[in-house]
Amino acid sequence: MKRPNLRRLKFSTWFYFLAFTAVIIASMWIFQFVFLEEYYSNAKISTMREYADIIDAALSSGEPIGSAVDECKDVGIDVTVIDKNKTDGNYAILYNSADRSDANLISKAETEFVSNGFVAKSGKYIGKDSKPSLLYYIKATEYQGKASYLLLASPYAKLYEAMNVLKIQSAFITIITLVISIALAWYFSGKLSKPIDDMSETAKRWAEGDNSVTFSATDTYTEITELAEALNYAKDGVSKAGELQRDLLANVSHDLKTPLTMIKAYAEMINDISGDDKIKRGKHTKVIIDEADRLTNLVNDILNLSKLQSSVDDLEMTEINLSALTERVIARFSDFVENKGYKIEEYIAPDLMTLADEKKVEQVIYNLLGNSLNYTGDDKTVKVYLTAENDKILLEIIDSGKGIKSDALDTIWERYYRFSETNTRPVKGTGLGLSIVKAILENHKLKYGVRSKENCGSNFFVEFNRIKNE
């Protein structure tokens, strides 16, 4: 399979940082040198319009205009008052703050003013080099009793000077920004990618068989820390699954090998020794039958557990009398009570109803009770409680055995988990009993568990939902 073209996270992140910086710098240049001229022109003309209104009001009222003209000079605006009537074909300049006249500008401004219907007019004066040389604003006014034009003009050269300065500054800023951006982008991309690179290396060591590795991402981003925690959780799960797989293979091979060996051995004994001895042949065939039954039970339990865990075997939910069902299960162990010296103490409240799959709940009670009988203490006593409170029914099966270590309380529900004293178990099983209990109760969505301490026995409990009968 061809490997896709992959890129390192560090270089990709670094590239994206630089691309973002380039976009910002390009935007700065575009706005400064494409839109700056138009923005400057509009702002300047707006300023000239404001001062023109102020000066026009002063001229109309006969007030001095010196202060307003000075303010115009401060912002680079020249003020000129032109006689509206021509003398010898020329316009007479009545007032000029710049002590100069520009006949071409005056003529152009007047022409546009007249063609505009004597409405205030603004615009750019294009010089001989086809470049704007002045911004102007013209409007009608009255100066010393004469009809006049008020002309305000601002040299365009100042804008060009400012733009040249900005270009030089922008070039320095661009260089400095790029250098800093390259360094910062490299630093932050490395900081961002390092914990991921570390986890990648850790994953490689784990894949090579080192189960002692730990994924760590302390003092970093929340998402990366959560990823490390998820990988550690997955690693623990895989390790646990590997251990269970090894236990499964060991137990299954042992459980299958033992009865097969017995069947073969006793079949050979019948063939070689006890073929004509009816009594011996009966004993030997009984062993073969028992071992075959054991194999059958093992296969059936494996199939049932697989169905339960894959939810193939649907639940048949009905209203059941849990009290009567518990008593029936206890009665199935009468042989242990009568012949083997075991004692089952019952504390069962009558007629407690629940909604469940009767056959599967019966299997739960049978497996829990059989487990407690296998591991109870020397007094051979198991106590069964079935009590109710409000809308809940509590089933408790208590033994007096050696108890369960705290670190094994969760493990006992796994497949093929057994204590070391399995050879003394009076109730024969396949090692899948509690796994089947777990699968059934989880399919029912019922609360269950075990409370236990070493040398204090164990209390297996299940909490059912109660249906109150009439």
Using DSSP bridges, classify how beta strands 343-348 and 121-126 pair: parallel, antiparallel or unpaired. Answer: unpaired
**Which of the 8 DSSP states describes residue 238?**
H
Residue 362 lies inside a defined structural domain of this protein: yes
Contact between 401 and 386 (Cβ < 8 Å): no
Residue 434 lies inside a defined structural domain of this protein: yes
Q: Write phi, then psi, for 333 (nearest 5 degrees).
A: -100, 20
pLDDT above 70: residue 251? no
Contact between 298 and 255 (Cβ < 8 Å): yes
277, 307, 337 - which closes a domain: 307
Residue 211 lies inside a defined structural domain of this protein: no
Same domain, 427 and 352: yes
Distance CA 388, CA 396 (A): 11
* Chain CA centroid to CA 59, Å: 72
- Position 209 scores a pLDDT of 75
- Give percent of the chain above pLDDT 70: 73
pLDDT tens digits for 270-288?
666 665 667 777 777 777 7
pLDDT tens digits for 423-442?
455 555 556 778 888 888 88
Using the Cα atoms of residue 177, residue 178, residue 180 and residue 184 in order, give the sign of their dihedral: positive
Residue 214 lies inside a defined structural domain of this protein: no
Distance CA 316, CA 190 (A): 58
Min mean pLDDT across 125-129, 220-224, 324-328, 460-464 is at 125-129
Structure-token match 């529900």, residue found: 413
pLDDT tens digits for 310-346?
554 567 889 999 999 999 999 888 877 777 888 899 9
Same domain, 351 and 424: yes
Return the structure tokens found at 253.
């091979």
Q: What is the DSSP string of 82-116?
A: EEEEEETTEEEEEEETTS---HHHHHHHHHHHHHT
- Domain of 389, CATH number, reads 3.30.565.10
Same domain, 370 and 400: yes
- 153 beta partners: 78, 136
pLDDT tens digits for 173-185?
888 888 888 888 7
Same domain, 135 and 266: no
170, 201, 232 - which closes a domain: 201
Q: What is the mean pLDDT of residues 56-66?
A: 83
Q: CA 191 → CA 9, 27, 461, distances in Å?
A: 11, 28, 51
Same domain, 274 and 258: yes
Same domain, 255 and 330: no
Residue 381 lies inside a defined structural domain of this protein: yes
pLDDT above 80: residue 190? no
Distance CA 31, CA 10 (A): 32
119, 136, 155 - which closes a domain: 155
Distance CA 158, CA 167 (A): 14
Q: CA 172 → CA 162, 178, 274, 466, distances in Å?
A: 16, 10, 107, 80
Same domain, 184 and 288: no
Q: How many folded domains does the chain comprise?
A: 4
Structure-token match 């680079």, residue found: 76
- Position 466 scores a pLDDT of 92
Same domain, 454 and 373: yes
Structural domain span for residue 387: 314-467
Residue 55 lies inside a defined structural domain of this protein: yes
Residue 246 lies inside a defined structural domain of this protein: yes
- Domain of 288, CATH number, reads 1.10.287.130
What mean pLDDT value characterizes the chain?
Answer: 77
Same domain, 430 and 321: yes
Q: What is the DSSP string of 364-428?
A: HHHHHHHHHHHH--TT-EEEEEEEEETTEEEEEEEE-SS---GGGTTGGGSTT---TTGGG-SS-
Residue 1 lies inside a defined structural domain of this protein: no
Same domain, 355 and 385: yes
- Domain of 101, CATH number, reads 3.30.450.20
pLDDT tens digits for 387-397?
998 899 999 99
Return the structure tokens found at 159.
């804008």
Same domain, 15 and 146: no
Q: What is the DSSP string of 4-49?
A: P----HHHHHHHHHHHHHHHHHHHHHHHHHTSHHHHHHHHHHHHHH
Same domain, 260 and 115: no
